[in-house]
Amino acid sequence: EDQVTQSPEALRLQEGESSSLNCSYTVSGLRGLFWYRQDPGKGPEFLFTLYSAGEEKEKERLKATLTKKESFLHITAPKPEDSATYLCAVHSGSNYKLTFGKGTLLTVNP
């Protein structure tokens, strides 16, 4: 059974203070690892897909990286508008579905 563990559960940063969120996974044949952003009262919004170890993707202040066991979401010089819950999910084998972690609640104070 696929498992996804995200840490920390919550992270509070000052504006401009860079940090990283972790997503550890156990799957049988990774076909894709996904990062989503979720704002309060809204549905998750797609950020990145990573397919193989060593791959990196960037979008504005966010950079996602992937190893064989975990993925990191690096946030460089965050702003208050980056405050949200960040979700990690995996797609494996012949499954039709994504398995999600419980998320990291990021708060960036001005």
Partner 1 sequence: NAGVTQTPKFRVLKTGQSMTLLCAQDMNHEYMYWYRQDPGMGLRLIHYSVGEGTTAKGEVPDGYNVSRLKKQNFLLGLESAAPSQTSVYFCASSGTKGQGDYGYTFGSGTRLTVV
* Beta carbon of residue 36, minimum distance to partner 1 (angstroms, whole number): 7
Closest by CA to 89, choosing from 27, 42, 9, 20, is 27
Beta bridge partners of 47: none
Footprint of partner 1 on 40-99 (CB under 8 A): 41-46, 49, 87, 89, 91, 96-98
Amino acid, res. 109: N
Stretches 14-22, 27-35, 67-75, 76-84: which one binds partner 1 (CB under 8 A)? 27-35
Beta bridge partners of 15: none
Q: Which is nearer to partner 1, 43 or 110 (CB)?
A: 43
